[in-house]
Amino acid sequence: MKIWGGGLCDYPEEFYDCNGDCLLDTDLDNVCDELDNCPENYNPFQEDFDFDDVGDACDGLSLNEAQQKRKLIRITDILGRDTQEDGKEKIRLYIYDDGWVERKIKLLK
Binding piece for Ca ion, criterion CB under 5 A, among 22-30, 63-71, 81-89, 95-103:
22-30
In the bound state with Ca ion, the residue whose beta carbon lies nearer, of 4 and 29, is: 29
Residue 48 lies near Ca ion (rule: CB under 5 A): yes
SS3 76: strand
Cα–Cα distance, 14 to 16 (Å, whole number) = 5
Query: Edge-to-edge strands of the sheet including 91-96?
Result: 72-77, 91-96, 101-105
The least CB distance from residue 60 to Ca ion, in Å, is: 9
* Single residue of 27, 77, 89, 102 touching Ca ion by CB under 5 A: 27
Cα–Cα distance, 62 to 47 (Å, whole number) = 12
Question: Footprint of Ca ion on residues 75-104 (CB under 5 A)?
Answer: none
